[in-house]
Amino acid sequence: MTPATVTPTTLLDAACAVVTNPPEDLRTRWPRVASLLTRQALELGLDAYWSTRRPGVDECHSMRAKMLCLPTYLDRSVALDAYQVWTQLSRACHRGSYDLDPTADELLSWQSSVRTILGELGPGESAD
């Protein structure tokens, strides 16, 4: 039996499932889990984009550096949206003890934005 291939779409689907029907064993942790899955989907899609568009950039260890390169190769508004949603997701993933978790509506909105961004990256970045 071979392991399932992880794609941005499978990660987003899993994140959506966590938000719409949180597993009982996650109790209060589901917002962070959904944030992590959504951010990972965006990062995986961007790495796929860079590996075909400009090989070598995908090997950069800093996602911030990869984001800074985006406006050169992609529509500026899409690049800005990608950076903004990635920043919001990162903040949700690394919240402090007194920070509030994102709401289900916020998470679903970020997931929708990530789906749109992945679609803008071109074929292969959002496909299964």
Nearest to 9 by CA among 114, 128, 113: 128
Q: Kindly indicate the confidence band of residue 81, based on its pLDDT and cuts at 50, 70 and 90.
A: very high
- 21 Ramachandran zone, left/alpha/beta (phi>0; psi -120 to 50): beta
Give tens-digit pLDDT for 45-72: 999 999 898 888 878 888 999 999 999 9
- Name the residue with higher pLDDT: 35 or 59: 35
pLDDT at position 3, please?
Answer: 58
DSSP letter (8 states) at residue 21? S
Distance between CA atoms of 101 and 95, rounded to whole angstroms?
8
Whether pLDDT at 1 is above 50 = no
DSSP letter (8 states) at residue 1? -
Give tens-digit pLDDT for 8-34: 999 999 999 999 998 888 888 899 999
